[in-house]
Chains A and B, each alone.
Chain A
Amino acid sequence: AQSVTQLDSQVPVFEEAPVELRCNYSSSVSVYLFWYVQYPNQGLQLLLKYLSGSTLVESINGFEAEFNKSQTSFHLRKPSVHISDTAEYFCAYYNTDKLIFGTGTRLQVFP
């Protein structure tokens, strides 16, 4: 079955440190990949997406993700996190008109 795996359920990190949230997918067809962020008691907000073209995609708030076809990965990175980045992050891919989500990674940024 096609799926998305987020290997880390929680990632604690200190403010201004770099962070990587890992995501691996299993799919044998063309892949559209997404990272969504969810703040407490809110819906999902799109952080960034890979549809085609450059394998490195960036968000407006300093996150980036790299599509790696050979490793079937789409890891999310940020070189220096802020307290405000504390949230749940979901990796997802698009499959026949619906999104398939991973189980999420809770990023906790400490001062």
Chain B
Amino acid sequence: DTGVSQDPRHKITKRGQNVTFRCDPISEHNRLYWYRQTLGQGPEFLTYFQNEAQLEKSRLLSDRFSAERPKGSFSTLEIQRTEQGDSAMYLCASSPEWEVEQYFGPGTRLTVT
């Protein structure tokens, strides 16, 4: 068990470009979560999946954001037409559905210039 992995670890992009992040959860975990952490703040929930179904989306997840988990394994988070306000650390976590504890990956730090 290698833990939750995220790719890339760092991404610098220009305003208006699209970016996509990937998260690979712990293999036996069927729940996968995305959080966003801005500077000086705690992580904020964005969305989560149980298997391939997206069960909840936060109001923070604007129309420019889309998340998928097509086969119930890895997930992608895409941001279209990035804005400077999207600069943040994007954290992925996973868990079995019967556990309340969530296991976090190292995060992807996005900088929009």
Contact = CB atoms under 8 A, between A and B. Distances in A.
Interface in B74-110: 91, 93, 100-107, 109
Interface residues of B, number: 25
Contact of A99 (B40, B43, B55): B43
Interface stretch (A13-21, A61-69, A73-81, A101-109): A101-109
A92 B6 CA distance: 22
Given A98-B33, A101-B44, A103-B42, A43 B104 contact: yes
Contact of A42 (B41, B100, B103, B106): B106
Contacts of B45: 98-100
Interface residues of A, number: 25
Contact of B107 (A4, A43, A92, A97): A43
A90 B43 contact: yes
A104 B42 contact: yes
Contacts of B44: 101
A94 B42 CA distance: 14
A30 to B, nearest CB: 10
A104 B43 CA distance: 9
A73 B64 CA distance: 38
Task: Identify whether the interface residues of A are mostly helix, strand, loop, or mixed.
Answer: strand
16 contacts: A32-B100, A41-B109, A42-B107, A43-B6, A43-B91, A43-B107, A44-B43, A45-B104, A97-B55, A98-B45, A98-B48, A99-B93, A101-B44, A102-B42, A103-B41, A103-B42
Interface string B49-88: 0000001100000000000000000000000000000000
Given A43-B105, A46-B101, A97 B48 contact: yes
Nearest to A93: B100
Contact of A43 (B31, B33, B40, B106): B106
Given A43-B91, A98-B45, 14 more contacts: A34-B101, A43-B104, A44-B104, A45-B104, A46-B103, A51-B100, A94-B100, A98-B33, A98-B56, A100-B45, A101-B43, A102-B42, A103-B42, A104-B42
